[in-house]
Structure 1
Amino acid sequence: METVCEKGGIATALNAKIYGNGSETLVLAHGYGEDQSAWQLLLPLLACYFKVVVFDMVFSPNLNPKLYDPQRYINDGRYYGGFERSEVNEIYKNIEQNFTGWVQNFAPKAAGQNNTATGAKFEKTLGRMKPYIALSAAKTVFSSDFRHKLPQVMVPCTIIQSKKDVIVPQSVAFYIKNNVGGDATVKILNTEGHFPHLSAHNLLFRVLKETIQIKN
């Protein structure tokens, strides 16, 4: 990381950009298979009120792959994370053996049935990942388990979740709410899919305005 970042620092290495000139700073971090363009619909709305920082995560296809240095989505007893171990193993197998086919199948499911445009955008960014990075990052996402750390989270949290999400069920949001150490609230968006910031950005923005108390 040091050699890759030494000239421009980590901000340059991660393509960090700042929009808006508000007095408070808001940092937006995208998820697996995306890049900072995931925020393109919300960014103009938020930049009216905040200084907004966006960047590309190290697994993003926009970054130098040398930056990527290679474990809870799995059901565990009474905890429902959304996937059985066998299903996750099948995902790993498909990424490794037929990455393009897996991307074409996974992207529309993650986006939701009625979100064709969102699915197409996600398919494009997901498909640009190097397969070995996609596999390694998927293993990190599906195998990481920080549930034991939740009681240490004392800051107030708002968990925003789509009503129907095939990747993360509502039970996960309420599990987090019930196990963090501080106050937490769950807000369910009346929409489908894993990417409300793309498929229902106006609805998400209305909820964010209430959550972070944006005043017109």
Structure 2
Amino acid sequence: MSVQFRNNVHVTGSGPTTMIFVHGFGCDQTMWRYLAPAFADRFRVVLYDLTGSGHSDWSAYDRAKYGSLQGHVTDLLEILDACAAGPSIVVGHSVGAPIGLLATIAAPQRFVAQVLVGPSPCYTNDGDYVGGFNPEDIDGLLDSMETNFLEWSRKMAPAIMGAPNQPHLGQELTRSFCRNDPAIAKHFARVTFRADIRADVPRATVPALILQCSDDLIVPREVGDWLHRHLAHSALRLIDNVGHCPHLSAPTASSDAIESFLAQTLMQGGRPSAHA
């Protein structure tokens, strides 16, 4: 099976450097529609659906392979092998951010930069680490999903999206959640919300931009601060946005932050400053 078919890969734009976009849980590549086109005049842009999501081949979803984020990391690198000959930039949202980060650790020579949108290395509070949820919160969230996935989606998607002045975005995310295969979504949710890659973060050496929302139900500000302290060559940019999806609800601010980061990191050949 070709990776293009398995992951519903679409390539646009042109340029010596490739930007590959990795969406979050319950989403698909259309969530990048406000952001990706801004870069297609200078970069080769690769959009795809995570295996088991969107219009990917759901039959390719192997619970053993995708029992950890590493299965999706392998897919990302295979897509780059098929679609990108030169250096790459990975842009990941939510769980797509740690997938991208782990890919830069596995193959640092392939990447010149990474952008982490609403990232979290671990959603669970642990001692001094603030992830946003106590263990019982995660258990309750997953149990609620098991009981009635569609009802869970209708309640959670608008809260995750936020964007109180743009209710259509919450409705869109609800539809996106509900389009997923419930069995796959439940499995992927457990992988997502119970993942803990904190020990891997210091191993990442590729320059990184952390985009943190000012008011995010899923990822509190402390998570962005923790990542900035532990991720080498990182810049932290706070986006004034209510919700977890600034690439949809605050696309101009998100695009401007990425442009500034890339100008400094790539065009000037430098490392990002503390708060780019």
Q: Do both share a fold (TM > 0.5)?
A: yes
Determine whether 1:112 maps to 2:162. yes
Indicate the residue corresponding to 2:98 in structure 1: none
Which residue type is aligned with residue 48 of structure 1?
D
Determine whether 1:27 maps to 2:77. no
For residue 214 of structure 2, give the secondary structure of its aligned residue in structure 1: strand
Instruction: List structure 1 segments (4+ residues) > 6 angstroms apart after TM superposition.
Output: none
Separation in 1, partners of 2:11, 2:54: 20
Can you list the C-alpha shifts for 1:55-106, whole angstroms capped at 9, x where unaligned?
Answer: 0001304222222122621111111111111111111111111111100100
Counterparts of 1:113-128 in structure 2, within 5 Å, are: 113-114=163-164, 115-128=166-179
Which residue type is aligned with residue 243 of structure 2?
G
Indicate the residue corresponding to 1:154 in structure 2: 205
Determine whether 1:183 maps to 2:233. yes
RMSD: 1.5
For residue 138 of structure 1, give the secondary structure of its aligned residue in structure 2: helix
Q: Structure 1: which 5+ residue stretches go unaligned?
A: none
Can you list the C-alpha shifts for 1:1-43, whole angstroms capped at 9, x where unaligned?
Answer: xxxx2xxx11221011111112221111101010000011112
Determine whether 1:66 maps to 2:59. yes
Question: Deviation at 1:49?
Answer: 2.0
For residue 41 of structure 2, give the secondary structure of its aligned residue in structure 1: coil
Can you list the C-alpha shifts for 1:144-173, whole angstroms capped at 9, x where unaligned?
Answer: 111111121122211011111001111111
Indicate the residue corresponding to 1:171 in structure 2: 222
Indicate the residue corresponding to 1:53 in structure 2: 46
Counterparts of 1:128-139 in structure 2, within 5 Å, are: 128-139=179-190
For residue 133 of structure 1, give the secondary structure of its aligned residue in structure 2: helix
Determine whether 1:90 maps to 2:83. no
Does the Cα contact within 8 Å between 2:26 and 2:176 map onto a contact in 1?
Answer: yes
Which residue type is aligned with residue 220 of structure 2?
P
Indicate the residue corresponding to 1:141 in structure 2: 192
Does the Cα contact within 8 Å between 1:61 and 1:130 map onto a contact in 2?
Answer: no
Does the Cα contact within 8 Å between 2:163 and 2:249 map onto a contact in 1?
Answer: no
Does the Cα contact within 8 Å between 1:95 and 1:134 map onto a contact in 2?
Answer: no
TM-score, with normalisation over the residues of structure 2?
Answer: 0.72
Identity of aligned residues (%): 29
Counterparts of 1:1-12 in structure 2, within 5 Å, are: 5=1, 9-12=2-5
- Shift in alpha-carbon separation, 1:154–1:177, aligned structure 2, 3 A: same
Separation in 1, partners of 2:225, 2:151: 33
Q: Structure 2: which 5+ residue stretches go unaligned?
A: 69-121, 268-276
